[in-house]
Structure 1
Amino acid sequence: MQQKMGFSGWLYILPTLLLIGIFSLWPVVQSITYSFFDYRLNDQQKAGLYLNERFNTDLFNETALYVGLFLDEELVNITDSDDQANVQKMIEQVNNVAANYKEQNGVITISEEEKEDINKLYKDSKALYEKLASTYTLTHEENLPLLIDDFNNSVISSNWIGLKAYKTVLGDERIRIALVNTVIFTVFSVALELVLGLGLAMVLNKAIFGQGLVRTTSLVPWAIPTAVAALMWSYLYDGSSGIVAHFFEIIGIVDQSQDLLLSASGAMMATILADVWKTTPYMALLLLAGLQNIPSSLYEAASIDGATKVQSFFRVTLPLLKTSILVALLFRTLDAFRVFDLIYVLTGGGPGGSTETMSIYAYKTMFGQTNFGYGSVVVMLMFVCVAFIAIVFVRLLGTNLLDRS
């Protein structure tokens, strides 16, 4: 009978649960929350998560100050006494409304009555400006209407959009291209890494002279930081002085060495090759652990029964390596699907978006355009794809990760 965990047991795992909650679950919750809002840091109207209307006091107070100053300066251009009186009344109206918010800071909630006062101020000041502009030559003819519009912009509408962004992302052509690029990169890089990694693992599993040195040397590419490795490969791929680019030109892979990173197919091939070089040792390390768990007696029994090396590989090695292959494929597929730093440093997603993956697109949307709402939707789409990949691997290979048999 399994014993239930007591209070002291929960205390032991509490720090782990807190770390998981802070560094894993909380970012996911934040991304889900952002995806329901049109959240843009480069737009004052959408630079927060607003379920209801809000009022930007900082913008309003600054606007009121300059509108009052500009109208006061325009008095010298106005000759009609009635118009001068109207300008004076407008300055007084602006000051009276602004006096209610001088002690306020940031974004606040306002009542319907306060909103009506602000709307009235906006309409009255706009009507006055249009009348003055049609009669007189104003000093601030270009800036004054923009400032008056900020009265209206101070009232921030709700930027809650619900599932609208998810509907938009399904019809986004750039998302489709990024998803195709991600799948191509993932499939080809992981497939090559599995084949090469398995071969490397079998070599490392052999009892050879200098085995420790060979194993250490083979892990050097994986130990190099990805950004550094990408920068190194960018020099090797350089069309004017890159050795690899010139080699590809000699053997006919590309017509000119300059085309390697400047053509869609060449850039994708270059990123896959760099990733394979970087991550094959990691794949080999995971598979090596599985190979070392296979008893040598099974190979001896197969040899006695007349099995060749090839037959032993397919009848003994692969079946017993099934769990390790699943773990290696799962880890590498999820890692390759989320690739960012390698491609960002090597091609930046170019040329023309031909190597732009989901993570690159999400980064450009969130940090390039400061559109965190739509960027979060792209991230959530990646989350769904990653979850789907994990389920497919476990189901298709029929292996329980907790079962060592």
Structure 2
Amino acid sequence: MKKMGLREFLFLVPILILICIFSLWPVLQSFTYSFFDYQLNDRTKSGLYLSERFNVDLYNETSFYVDRFISMDMETISDDQDKADANQVLAGLTELNKEFENEEGVIKLTGDQTDQVLNVYQNTKTTVDQLVSKYELQQGENLPLLVDDINNSLIQSNFVGLDGYKQAFSDGFVGIALKNTLIFTVVSVFLELILGMGMALIMNKAMQGQGFIRTSSLIPWAIPTAVAALMWSYLYDGGAGIVAEFFSIVGFIDQPTDLLQTSTGAMTAVVLADVWKTTPYMAILLLAGLQTIPKSLYEAASIDGASIVQKFFRVTVPLLMPAILVALLFRTMDAFRVFDLIYVLTGGGPGGSTETLSVYSYKVMFGQTNFGYGSVIVMIMFVCVAIITTIYVKVLGASVMEKN
């Protein structure tokens, strides 16, 4: 085999760049976030800080109000010593403002600057507590809280290392979400493989209107997942949903409302909706594999007296294994990362019974704005998908190659 030269490699550069931008970069970002306690709803953790930082904007805002409130109450302070302490606090705030007058945002500090900020905070806190206890200041309740924000301007490192992963392994919600994800993936992919195989065998037969049948079978797959989920939510509705009413009549559930309000019913509803939507996709993949099998093999099997069942298991299945492997790989990875169907249909309920890893990570990252811990859950999903892919390729793939 001829080795790839520079000219051949240059043709691959654009696709390699796209892979790095759209595939590797998001994974690396999530991997980086997972080592930090990164929370957007906390100003002291709204960035990735390996060392101590200083929020200049927060300090400037805080010092402005502290200076203003103390100045407003100077006439209330009657003791000369207390007034001198108050003026000393104002002078310290002014001096610190000059230190950072050309800075903005979050900056790094030297050791001397850190000591200076801490000294100003301690002096201000001591003086304000003393003044609040002795005098009726106009902002007596708010002033101590404002002073605490001076200390909050000093941002400690939010690097937590592997603590996020330790938390995830002891988090019961992660365990429940992983179990729900595995149940959903195994059951839905198994049903889709069986039903998809049946549809593929039917569509592979020469019949009148074959093109129309193949095209119409893809309609569920063509419908956007969010739209399909909303449609199924009406069908599952306990008050007017025809599917919920039908399940109640045949005895699958006691009442129509039980379908989405019980853990078993909700998981069944989600799996059924997913099977309805993605079985055509599985069928098309298998149909492509069926059409690569020579007709002469079936004719030879018929001459040897093989039955329909024997032809299926001795001819169709062995030669269809590469297509089955591809279909299973794509659908398993897709099902393991399911989000929009469950989020729209059940929201992960009732009681987290249909909450998958992707839904839980979304709630942590965007509901709680905790991107650090949310990234930990995403990386767990990434590892699980990588393991599943390796198993398919190494185990099933090796078996297929040996048979071929």
Normalization by structure 1: what TM-score?
0.97
Q: How does 1:325-336 map to 2 (within 5 A)?
A: 325-336=324-335
Report deviation, 1:404: 10
Q: Distance in 2 between matches of 1:197 and 1:97?
A: 71
In the alignment, what sits opposite 1:363?
362
Q: Helix, strand or coil: the match of 1:276?
A: helix
In the alignment, what sits opposite 2:55?
56
In the alignment, what sits opposite 1:347?
346
The one-letter amino acid of 2:274's match is: D
Contact 1:70–1:144 (Cα < 8 Å) also in 2:
yes
- More deviation, 96-105/34-43: 96-105
Report deviation, 1:7: 2.1
In the alignment, what sits opposite 2:194?
195
In the alignment, what sits opposite 1:302?
301
**Number of equivalenced pairs:** 404
In the alignment, what sits opposite 2:269?
270
The one-letter amino acid of 2:162's match is: L
Q: Distance in 1 between matches of 2:349 and 2:210?
A: 41
Report deviation, 1:403: 9.1
In the alignment, what sits opposite 2:236?
237
Report deviation, 1:391: 1.4
Q: Determine whether 1:206 maps to 2:205.
A: yes
In the alignment, what sits opposite 2:323?
324
Q: How does 1:24-39 map to 2 (within 5 A)?
A: 24-39=23-38
Q: How does 1:89-108 map to 2 (within 5 A)?
A: 89-108=88-107
In the alignment, what sits opposite 2:2?
3
Give percent identity, aligned residues only: 60
Report deviation, 1:214: 0.5
Contact 2:325–2:397 (Cα < 8 Å) also in 1:
no
Q: Distance in 2 between matches of 1:287 and 1:112?
A: 66
In the alignment, what sits opposite 1:17?
16
Q: How does 1:116-135 map to 2 (within 5 A)?
A: 116-135=115-134
Report deviation, 1:218: 0.6
Q: Distance in 1 between matches of 2:399 and 2:64?
A: 68
Contact 1:323–1:399 (Cα < 8 Å) also in 2:
no
Q: Distance in 1 between matches of 2:195 and 2:81?
A: 88
In the alignment, what sits opposite 2:166?
167
Q: Give structure 2 stretches of 5+ with no counterpart.
A: none
The one-letter amino acid of 1:311's match is: Q
Q: Helix, strand or coil: the match of 2:54?
A: strand
Q: Give structure 1 stretches of 5+ with no counterpart.
A: none
Q: Deviations over 1:219-272 (max 9, x none)?
A: 100011111111111111111111111111111111111111111111100000
| Pairwise CA RMSD | 1.4
Q: Distance in 2 between matches of 1:243 and 1:197?
A: 25
Report deviation, 1:351: 0.9
Contact 2:37–2:159 (Cα < 8 Å) also in 1:
yes
Contact 1:53–1:158 (Cα < 8 Å) also in 2:
yes
Q: Determine whether 1:79 maps to 2:75.
A: no
- More deviation, 84-93/23-32: 84-93
Q: Distance in 2 between matches of 1:54 and 1:85?
A: 32
Contact 1:362–1:375 (Cα < 8 Å) also in 2:
yes
Q: Distance in 2 between matches of 1:108 and 1:404?
A: 63
Q: Distance in 2 between matches of 1:403 and 1:7?
A: 35
Q: Determine whether 1:287 maps to 2:286.
A: yes
The one-letter amino acid of 1:163's match is: L
Q: Does the C-alpha gap of structure 1 residues 18 and 311 become closer, same or farther in structure 2, counting only changes over 3 Å? A: same
Contact 2:197–2:286 (Cα < 8 Å) also in 1:
yes
Contact 1:323–1:404 (Cα < 8 Å) also in 2:
no
